[in-house]
Amino acid sequence: MVEIKAQPFPFPLRKQEIALVVIDMQRDFAEPGGFGASLGNDVGRIARIVPDVKRLIQGFREAGLKVIHTMECHRPDLSDLPVAKRNRGQPSLRIGDEGPMGRILIAGEPGTAILSELAPIDGEVVIEKPGKGAFYATVLGDVLKERGITQLVFAGVTTEVCVQTTMREANDRGYECLLCEQATESYFPEFKEAAIAMIRAQGAIVGWTADIDDILETISHA
């Protein structure tokens, strides 16, 4: 058996059944003027992981493995945006408002786009999701089943919200989940640390976590 060095114990790799899921690496979360900044966050924390996310994506592509991207966004008429979500907190810009990069988190707007450095290539699946989890109100489950995927490696943002939510959804559906520690981030470092601890607690109750170099080395030689 081929294993990826991980915590709390090695991850049992099945190379033909694994895919990388890159969560919400969008301009609205990583660039000034976007939704993340409107909430008062330091978007520079997100921008700093871009090189590692890019390296992880490239490693999966070079190994001939599948890469899936997600984007949090809503329909232009906001019909899939609950009032409770739009009204949450006190951001300077709310979802659907006009911002420096177009309407905030609306499908097709410039700010909603995946960062150019991490853009999907032909053949890679892009899941547009209206919620925090990538399985809710999307075709992700069908896509994974059609492709025979049973193991998921996760990257993206934010660790404690959309990444962890999707990992929990996947765990409940029977997928084995592995989080790349360097390729995920939060606006709050203590939240990332806590989320990682929760994910791998009690014998990988939600999933495993691993170093990017250990993941890339194993998939390249498996």
Residues designated catalytic = 24, 129, 162
Return d(Cα 42, Cα 116) in angstroms, integer: 20
3-state secondary structure of 61: helix
Contact 54, 117 (CB under 8 A): yes
The radius of gyration of the chain's CA atoms, rounded to the nearest angstrom, is 17
List all residues 6 or more positions away from 175 whose beta carbon is below 8 Å from its beta carbon. Answer: 144, 149, 150, 151, 152
Pair 166, 133: CB distance under 8 Å: yes
DSSP string, 123-134: T-EEEEESSSSS
User: Do the strands 102-103 and 98-99 form a parallel or antiparallel pair, or are they unpaired?
Assistant: antiparallel
Do 200 and 172 touch, CB atoms closer than 8 A? Answer: no
Specify the amino acid at residue 14.
Answer: R
Angle in degrees, CA 34, 36, 42, rounded to 5: 110
Contact 149, 19 (CB under 8 A): yes
